[in-house]
């Protein structure tokens, strides 16, 4: 048996660039906030594709088109309650501080939520993907811009970056700003060994065998971005794991290459 930890927090929310250049020069923060787990604090414009789902559950997402955000299916279900009604959700873009309003921030209500029909909240977290249509298109600028979808899977060992506003310690301490961490794509056979064969063809793993760096609760639905052929792509969606940043327990991500046609079908765009 294996224990699934879906990386989502149930909280009633109160409304209140790419990462290549300059991330080494981020301001220094106390050690206790220097992780997503094991990561660093982002600056405005580092991750212009990052979305935050403001609603009954804490999740992230990725802008893939001016009017569409990709996230995890499990972000819309908690203890048997269905939160797929778009009226629950406002999507926040262009922010790094979840508890304040930046001048770069765009808050756009959801107009529809589409969860993959293969997802079953009572079973294993397979087909863990959903797409949100925004009520109106986001304004694309240096702080808000879409992330491309991949044409192929990131090779084993590729260093990819995962970002989010979730737990920074594994003990329920939510980040006060957007965090990110680099983790390598793990060999599928190695990961399936660690996870007792639970990794389907619609999942892949990223992380270190000895742990220490990972996404965690509240980062669900957010992006794992990998640079492929010189372009940053949404290679993975934060999905699940056994605990956070534990040795022999890598993060598990939805494999976006397996859902390109589904996303095109449900957005109406060849994204």
Determine the Cα–Cα distance for residues 77 and 122; give it in Å rounded to an integer.
10
What residue spans define the domains of the chain? 159-256
Asked if residues 16 and 100 have their Cβ atoms less than 8 Å apart, the reply is yes
List active site positions: 74, 128, 220
Q: Write b or e for each residue in 21-32: b if 16 or more Cβ atoms lie within 10 A of its Cβ, otherwise e.
A: eebeeeeeeeee
Q: Is the CATH code 2.40.10.10 the one for domain 159-256?
A: yes
DSSP designation for 189: H
Query: Does the pLDDT at position 102 exceed 70?
Result: yes
The answer, yes or no, to whether residue 165 has pLDDT greater than 70, is yes
What are the DSSP calls for 55-80, one per residue? SSEEEEEEEEETTEEEE-GGGGEETT
Cβ–Cβ < 8 Å for 131, 70: yes
pLDDT band at residue 210 under the 50/70/90 scheme:
low
How many helices (DSSP H) and strands (DSSP E) are in the chain?
2, 17
Considering the entire predicted model, what is its pTM? Answer: 0.83
- pLDDT on residue 138: 98
Q: How far apart are CA 33 and CA 25, in angstroms?
A: 16
Alpha-carbon distance 201 to 252, whole Å?
Answer: 12
Position with higher pLDDT, 98 vs 223:
223
According to DSSP, the β-strands at 231-241 and 223-228 are: antiparallel
- pLDDT value, residue 176: 74
d(CA 4, CA 92): 28
pLDDT at 18: 35
Interstrand relation of 130-134 and 68-71 (parallel, antiparallel or unpaired): antiparallel
Per-residue pLDDT of 175-187, as tens digits, reads 678 989 899 999 9
What is the per-residue DSSP string for 25-56? GSPP--GGGS-SSS-EE--TTS-TTEEEEESS
Q: Return the pLDDT at 12.
A: 36
User: Does the pLDDT value for residue 40 go beyond 70?
Assistant: yes
238 near 72, Cβ under 8 Å? yes
Q: Tell me, what DSSP letter sits at residue 120?
A: -
The neighbour count for residue 133, using CB atoms within 10 Å, is 19
């Amino acid at each position: 048996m294996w224990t699934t930890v879906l990386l989502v927090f149930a909280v009633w929310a109160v409304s209140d660039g790419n990462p290549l250049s300059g991330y080494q020069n981020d301001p220094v923060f106390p050690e206790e906030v220097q992780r997503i787990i094991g990561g660093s604090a982002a600056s405005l414009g580092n991750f212009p594709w990052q979305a935050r789902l403001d609603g009954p559950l804490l999740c992230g997402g990725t802008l893939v088109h001016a009017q569409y955000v990709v996230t995890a299916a499990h972000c819309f279900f908690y203890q048997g309650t269905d939160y797929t009604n778009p009226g629950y959700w406002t999507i926040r873009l262009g922010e790094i501080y979840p508890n304040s309003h930046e001048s770069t921030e765009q808050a756009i209500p959801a107009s529809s939520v589409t969860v993959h029909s293969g997802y079953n909240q009572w079973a294993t977290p397979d087909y863990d993907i959903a797409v949100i249509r925004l009520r109106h298109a986001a304004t694309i600028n240096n702080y808000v811009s879409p992330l491309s979808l991949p044409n192929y899977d990131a090779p084993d060992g590729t260093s990819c970056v995962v970002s989010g506003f979730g737990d920074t310690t594994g003990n329920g301490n939510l980040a006060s700003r957007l965090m990110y961490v680099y983790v390598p794509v793990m060999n599928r056979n190695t990961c399936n060994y660690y996870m007792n064969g639970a990794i389907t063809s619609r999942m892949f793993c990223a992380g270190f065998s000895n742990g220490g760096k990972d996404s965690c609760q509240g980062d669900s639905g957010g992006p794992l971005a990998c640079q492929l052929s010189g372009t940053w792509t949404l290679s993975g969606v934060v999905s699940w794991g056994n605990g956070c940043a534990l040795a022999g327990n890598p993060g598990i991500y939805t494999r976006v290459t397996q859902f390109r046609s589904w996303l095109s079908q449900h957005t109406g765009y060849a994204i």
